[in-house]
Amino acid sequence: MNMKGTRKLVFLMVLCMFSVMVLGGAAFAADDPMTYKGKVSVGAQTVNESVILAWMAKILIDEYTSLDTVINTEFAASSVLHQAMAGGELDVYPTWTGTQLTGILRYEGPNLTKEETFRRVKEGFEKNFNFTWIEPFGFNNTYVMSVRRETAEKYNLKKASDLKDHASKWTLAGDENFDTRPDAYPGWSEAYGIEFGEVLPMQYSMMYMAIAREEVDAICAYSTDSRIKKLDLVMLEDDLEYFPAYSAAYVVTMELLEKYPALKDVLGKISGKIDEATMSGLNYRFDEGEEPEDIARDFLRSQELLK
């Protein structure tokens, strides 16, 4: 190749590199979340933890994008949230991996690790619903059989198997779907060979009132709930390791992320940053009457995620 041809080749290479840089910069600018236009709907169950996490999502989206966000924290159950998203009413909601693995995906196999549980729900939701999951927050809010301390001491109850000699005469309370969900009482009862005399599904907050008033003998609580400590309840070890992992995370429509790609990183800012003790403390503030928006904002500030 002569000198003239060499100069021409170099010129073309430089022009090509310049074009890539320009186009890449344009693409980057086009995905600037502060230029996004549109609305995002965030939902939550009427459960302290779910409400707080939904507010965190709203505040993060407000902070890092120019999108308009609306929030509805009045959904009665995780299945209702899922139906609302499938119907186009919601774009984002917090939930738990074990809940959706057995509830929505109808998994009935052996217990899985938390990593495998997350992989399965993520793949299942993407394949079946065009929803995906953001990496979990870091805590596992699983079911735990709990009794009043005086009950535990009187009958020497330390693990769930210890309920075998007493449960048939007792009343157990759980959340709204606890008596029917395969990952809840029906499966637990079969695994342990234990049947309570009566099982009462009720609004989640009501079961704590019921055990405090001695209207029930035991409840199946959530392990991050602050009322366990407040009411001095004893959590019984799940010695057969029946209950699956319930890692909390955001579910998001893939359509939303295709339209606003930066939202994945925005919502992922709190992935891995909330452990059980931290979530229990946040739940306690909610249970004491503080506003969920204030609780969420304080946590995000503590993580230096807000200006």
pLDDT in tens, 191-217: 999 999 999 999 888 999 999 999 999
DSSP secondary-structure letter at 304?
T
In the chain, what are the domains?
Answer: 37-140+246-302 (3.40.190.10), 143-235 (3.40.190.120)
Q: Cite the DSSP H helix spans in the chain.
A: 3-30, 48-64, 78-86, 97-102, 114-129, 149-155, 185-192, 204-212, 227-230, 254-259, 263-267, 276-287, 292-302
Say if residue 183 is exposed, middle or buried (CB neighbours under 10 Å; 0-12, 13-18, 19+).
buried
pLDDT in tens, 274-286: 998 899 899 999 9
Report if pTM > 0.85: no
Q: Say how many Å lie between the first and final Cα of the chain, rounded.
A: 58
How far apart (Å, rounded) are the C-alpha atoms in residues 206 and 174?
Answer: 9
pLDDT in tens, 110-139: 888 889 999 999 999 999 999 999 999 999
Q: The tokens 């902070």 sit on which residue? A: 63
